[in-house]
């Protein structure tokens, strides 16, 4: 690790990252709130209703960002866990742990909003034949497996390393599961769904979506920072720097 | 290579000395499959439509039942630690143990599956494809099972959690295996899903043991 600049090493130091999180958190939270409010206004008021689905399409402004973050979250979690496993950086494990429940929540949100959208569009809350719904469900199971595995170890260090292996195995499998579910649904000649073969979406509809994706990503980062701080406090609860920090705040 | 053979032979010997442990998953497989007609209906056409799915899901579940013994007994009596301490690479040890496990759990299942398939009125023409698909899918399943078993080595009641870990990962096997069998039952070309199963098997057998080895090292500490 010679030759790496000093600032690089500081990223593995809990006090440094804790302080950074403390400084960034309000900005991220505020920015996320503003972006989501702006995107929601654009999506719910400014964007024209869809000529086929009417107003029900507007749920994509929640659904698409959550679905994107559900996959992004798993990838980030696995990358953080792998970094923690290979270089034995405890902070990276803390990041992975912080991401897991948030990623799972976004996965759940994507499933629920998909179901709500499916009711007026397909006539059913749950369509077994849809590949993306099935994939999101399996992804949720992967998140739950990761969290359940962690929870069953008493020793935190061991839980870190064992769950890191699972996260990496899972992230290798995510594309395989994704494509196999996709082929499964195209091979299965289920009920023919009048699916929109998403033609080039008009700019009025797309712009709020992009804003919402940015807002949700900021919100995701904000949530992760919150959890990360809690995780750091839990792991370092008897460290001296933490006591100094707490006294300074008081 | 000597060590590889020695581990396989040792595990096979141990397995046959505790043969009731081997028989249980097979009995479970037969019982589960015979519960479906009781729960649904004995109607022949219906049996034929559900047969493939029942067969694959039951095979998956029964192989889950067998995997707890994969490393547990060795870990309990300390021989796993000795194996990891030996100069043999842990990956080789893992492959040997997975191979032995596959021989004693999957091969009997593959032999038994066509019989159950006939009971479900699957056309005899589909049986070779069923056996082939199982031959291609079970190595991947054994590797996934080994990963699950190695990860949960430090947990006392690992049964339910192994299912949670392994079943989502095994879903592609279920999709392609059942698909190949289904296509064969209708007399259509089955090469596509079979190739995909083979590809997954190659991937699992070549990369999976690394994950198993890493998990074993953490688990034994």
| pLDDT tens digit sequence for A209-223 | 899 999 999 999 999
In this prediction the ipTM stands at 0.89
Q: What is the pLDDT of residue A200?
A: 55
Return d(Cα B172, Cα A131) in angstroms, integer: 12
Residue ranges for chain A with pLDDT beneath 50 = 1, 189-197, 199
Domain ranges of chain A: 22-46+55-190+204-249
On chain A, the residues whose CB falls within 8 A of the CB of B147 are 165-166, 169
Q: What is the pLDDT of residue A190?
A: 43
Q: Which of A163, A161, A152, A147 is nearest to B218 (CA)?
A: A161
Length of chain A measured in residues: 250
Q: CA of A154 to nearest chain B CA: how many angstroms apart?
A: 9
On chain A, the residues whose CB falls within 8 A of the CB of B221 are 158
On chain B, the residues whose CB falls within 8 A of the CB of A176 are 172, 200
Contact (Cβ atoms closer than 8 angstroms) between residue A168 and residue A85:
yes
Torsions phi, psi for B66 (to 5 deg):
-85, -15
Please check whether residue A151 touches B, CB under 8 A: no
CA atoms within 13 A on the CB side of B221: 13
Q: What is the pLDDT of residue A243?
A: 84
Q: What is the pLDDT of residue A73?
A: 95
Contact (Cβ atoms closer than 8 angstroms) between residue A40 and residue A60:
no
Q: CA of A215 to nearest chain B CA: how many angstroms apart?
A: 31
Helix, strand, coil shares, percent, chain A, to 5? 80, 0, 20
On chain A, the residues whose CB falls within 8 A of the CB of B218 are 158, 161-162, 165
Q: What is the pLDDT of residue A117?
A: 83
Average pLDDT per consecutive 10 residues, chain B (221 residues; last block may be shorter): 88 87 88 89 81 90 83 87 89 93 92 91 89 94 93 83 90 91 86 92 93 91 77
Q: Which of A78, A136, A130 is nearest to A107 (CA)?
A: A136
Nearest CA in chain B to A136: B168
Return d(Cα A94, Cα A164) in angstroms, integer: 11
What range does the domain containing B202 cover?
A: 2-220
| Number of separate domains in chain B | 1
Residues 6+ apart with CB under 8 A from A166: A145, A146, A149, B147, B151, B165
Q: What is the pLDDT of residue B18?
A: 83
CA atoms within 13 A on the CB side of B157: 3
Residue of B133, B181, B218, B220 best to disrupt the A interface, most CBs of A under 10 A:
B218
Nearest CA in chain B to A161: B218
Return d(Cα A84, Cα A81) in angstroms, integer: 5
Contact (Cβ atoms closer than 8 angstroms) between residue B130 and residue B47:
no
For residue A54, the cross-strand partners are: A50
Of B154, B172, B200, the CB nearest to A158: B154
Q: What is the pLDDT of residue B100?
A: 92
Rg (CA), chain B: 18
| Residue A145 to residue B221, Cβ atoms within 8 A | no
Contact (Cβ atoms closer than 8 angstroms) between residue B214 and residue B82:
no
Of A148, A165, A176, the CB nearest to B211: A165
């Amino acid at each position: 690790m010679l030759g790496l600049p000093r600032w690089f090493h500081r990223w593995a130091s809990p006090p440094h990252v804790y302080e950074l999180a403390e400084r960034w958190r309000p900005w991220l939270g505020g920015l996320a709130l503003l972006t989501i409010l702006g995107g929601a206004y654009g999506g719910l008021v400014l964007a024209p209703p869809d000529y086929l689905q009417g107003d029900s399409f507007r749920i994509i402004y929640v659904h698409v960002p959550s679905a994107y973050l559900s996959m992004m979250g798993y990838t980030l979690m696995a990358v953080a866990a792998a970094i923690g496993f290979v270089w034995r950086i405890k902070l990276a494990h803390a990041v992975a742990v912080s991401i897991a429940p948030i990623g799972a929540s976004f996965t759940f949100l994507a499933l629920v909003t998909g179901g709500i959208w499916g009711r007026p569009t397909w006539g059913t809350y749950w369509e077994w034949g849809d590949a993306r719904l099935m994939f999101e469900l399996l992804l949720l199971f992967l998140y739950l497996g990761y969290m359940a595995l962690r929870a069953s170890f008493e020793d935190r260090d061991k839980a870190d390393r064992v769950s890191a292996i699972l996260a990496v195995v899972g992230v290798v499998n995510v594309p395989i599961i994704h494509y196999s579910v996709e082929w499964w649904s195209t091979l299965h000649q289920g009920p023919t769904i009048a699916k929109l073969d998403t033609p080039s979406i008009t700019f009025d509809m797309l712009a709020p979506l992009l804003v919402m994706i940015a807002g949700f990503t900021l919100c995701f980062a904000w949530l992760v920072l919150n959890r990360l701080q809690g995780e750091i406090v839990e792991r370092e609860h008897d460290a001296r720097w933490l006591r100094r920090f707490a006294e300074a705040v008081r | 290579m000597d060590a590889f053979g020695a581990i396989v032979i040792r595990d096979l010997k141990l397995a046959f000395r505790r043969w009731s442990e081997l028989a249980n998953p097979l009995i479970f497989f037969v019982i589960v499959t015979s519960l479906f007609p009781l729960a649904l209906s004995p109607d022949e056409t219906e049996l034929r439509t559900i047969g493939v799915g029942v067969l694959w899901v039951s095979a998956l579940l029964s192989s889950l039942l067998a995997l707890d013994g994969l490393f547990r007994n060795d870990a309990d009596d300390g021989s796993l630690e000795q194996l990891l301490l030996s100069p043999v690479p842990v990956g080789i040890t893992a492959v040997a143990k997975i191979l032995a496990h596959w021989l004693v759990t999957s091969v009997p299942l593959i032999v038994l599956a066509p019989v159950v398939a006939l009971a479900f009125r699957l056309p005899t023409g589909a049986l070779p494809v069923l056996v082939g698909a199982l031959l291609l899918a079970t190595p991947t399943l054994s590797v996934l099972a080994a990963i699950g078993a190695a990860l949960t080595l430090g947990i006392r009641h690992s049964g339910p959690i192994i299912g949670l870990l392994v079943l989502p990962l095994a879903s592609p096997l279920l999709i392609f295996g059942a698909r190949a069998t289904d296509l064969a039952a209708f007399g259509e070309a089955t090469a596509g899903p079979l190739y995909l199963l083979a590809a997954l098997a190659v991937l699992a057998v070549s990369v999976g043991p690394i994950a198993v080895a890493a998990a074993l090292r953490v688990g034994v500490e």
